[in-house]
Amino acid sequence: MRIAMIGTGYVGLVSGVCFSDFGHEIVCVDKLTAKVETLRAGGVPIYEPGLDEMLRRNVEAGRLSFTTDLAEAVKGAQAVFIAVGTPTRRGDGHADLTYVYAAARELADVIDPGTVVVTKSTVPVGTNREVARVIAERLAETGRDCPFEVASNPEFLREGAAIEDFMRPDRVVCGVDSEAAEQVMRDIYRPLSLREAPVMITSLESAEIIKYAANAFLATKITFINEIADLCEKVGGDVKAVAKGIGMDGRIGPKFLHAGPGYGGSCFPKDTSALARIGQDHSVPMRIVETVIDVNDRRKRRMVDKVLDLLGGKANGKKIAVLGVTFKPETDDMRDSPSLTIVPALVGGGAQVAVTDPEGRKEGEALLPGVTWEADAYAAAEGADAVLLLTEWNQFRALDLKRLKAGMRGDGFADLRNVYDPADVTEAGFRYVSIGRADAE
Ligand code: NAD
């Protein structure tokens, strides 16, 4: 099957590469010439484990190519996926659909008759019908006769485990409005049936809502355990034990119950915000989601106080080693990372901040002015008053704590991911704070 993928970001590129691995013929298109040149030269513009090898294999097999030319990409394609960004619109919290509608309009001039235009980007309910309207409007303007279908195929992959998630999804959701579109979607995902991944066919609206509801639910779960962590700190509980105790209940499940500095990343903040706005627009307030957003925003700011407490109340003149700045391990993505709230507050308070992150520097340098970048945790901690563990990269999970402490001026250790056992860190000579563990304070 020939498929075109518009957008070679985290989702478009992973989807394109994985579809080609299914055996489909894929052309990925992006407006950014530099990105396409990198891809054509065999490079991968993002950090995603395993992606470079799979990309190379499929390019060599002649199933995967890259272009900036939309007409060339969609020629002969049975399906065209829109996987462009839908960031938060400045000022009002809505999803910004400019890129989606621009792509739809451009498609009207170049698709072949019968093409299924599939929206993979996360979009508010009603967007797929609007995509159909935009294409039809442009076709009417140009007088071009080109019947087409639309489909909604939201993506659930996680950065850092994107290939595994795409190849072994819990489910594939396809929102359709016609049998022809359903058939094309089933054909695209047929190779996954060998892995028994369920393909769920729904209406366009249900598919659109499923994506936001899933992300909002996960963000709620994280925020819930974060509040329970606060209670644990106050009254003498251990949030790790509490999370384990509730997670063993099959109705609750153990995932997304890790207390931390507040959720971040390219999806949860923008998707919770968009869902809250969608609810307001339809006079169905999403009050739980609105509260989750508020609690999470406050939490990131409160994390700064936690670090300041460890430093005796002020950052001025102190040196802090920050371990990890990406929003989670195994990605270079910095979008809405908690570090973008916490680190600037410390720098602004007069602290000297030394940062280390296995993949975050490329994006992070521009986003975190005034910090120095170090090769590893030991170099960052040299002469520091405190260590602040923000992202639980494997590189920071088994540090030689005595060696780390030996190079430092002070003895603070703020572990905002609960990576370490308080007893081990204390034994190495640190004053240790973590999340939701009374013995930590
Ligand atoms: P991204 O910003 O990394 O990539 C978007 C790409 O689209 C960019 O390379 C951009 O140049 C390109 N682009 C924009 N307009 C174009 C056009 N008209 N023609 C060609 N290329 C164009 O975005 P992303 O993180 O891949 O997210 C894409 C969508 O997928 C979003 O709606 C997001 O919410 C959703 N999503 C993301 C994730 C994730 O983990 N990143 C997971 C699930 C869903």
Mean pLDDT within 45-62: 97
In Å, what is the CA distance from 438 to each residue of 155, 239, 259, 361, 422? Answer: 39, 9, 13, 34, 10
Average pLDDT along the chain = 97
Share of the chain above pLDDT 70, in %: 99
**Structural fold of domain 296-440:** Rossmann fold (3.40.50)
User: For this structure, is 18 an active site residue?
Assistant: no
Closest ligand 1 atom number to CA of residue 121? 32
With a pLDDT cut of 90, the percent of the chain lying above it is 98
Q: Do domains 2-202 and 296-440 have the same CATH topology?
A: yes
Burial of 411 (0-12, 13-18, 19+ CB in 10 A): middle
pLDDT tens-digit map of 235-283: 999 999 999 999 999 999 999 999 999 999 999 999 999 999 999 999 9
**pLDDT at residue 285 above 90?**
yes
pLDDT mean over 141-167? 98
Q: Picking from 181-185, 195-199, 288-292, 387-391, which range would have the lowest pLDDT averaged per residue?
A: 195-199
pLDDT digits (tens, 9 = 90+) for 105-129: 999 999 999 999 999 999 999 999 9
Model confidence at 101: pLDDT above 60: yes
How far apart, in whole angstroms, are the C-alpha atoms of residue 19 and residue 292?
35
The best mutation among 27, 30, 109, 118 to test binding of ligand 1, ranked by most ligand atoms within 8 Å of the C-beta, falls on 30
In tens, the pLDDT along 326-342 reads 999 999 999 999 999 99
Give the pLDDT score at 290: 98
Please say if the pLDDT value at position 130 is more than 90: yes
Residue 389 in this model has a pLDDT that exceeds 50? yes
Give me the interface pTM, i.e. the ipTM: 0.99
Instruction: Show the ligand 1 pocket: residues with CB < 6 angstroms.
Output: 6-12, 29-32, 35, 83-86, 99, 102-103, 121-122, 155, 157, 159, 266-267
The per-residue pLDDT for 195 is 79
CA of 323 relative to ligand 1 center, distance in Å: 28
Helices 239-247 and 204-235, packing angle to 10 deg? 140
pLDDT band for position 197 (cuts 50, 70, 90): confident
Between 3.40.50.970, 3.90.550.10, 3.40.50.720, 3.30.70.270, what CATH number should domain 2-202 receive? 3.40.50.720
Q: What is the CATH number assigned to the segment(s) 212-293?
A: 1.10.1040.10
Residue 379 clears pLDDT 70, i.e. is over it: yes
Instruction: State in Å: Cα 13 to ligand 1 middle.
Output: 9
pLDDT tens by residue, 346-376: 999 999 999 999 999 999 999 999 999 999 9
Q: What is the pLDDT of residue 441?
A: 43
- Rounded Cα distance, 410 and 312, in Å: 11
Is the pLDDT reported for residue 439 higher than 80?
no
Question: Distance between CA 286 and CA 296 in Å, rounded?
Answer: 16
Domain borders along the chain are: 2-202, 212-293, 296-440
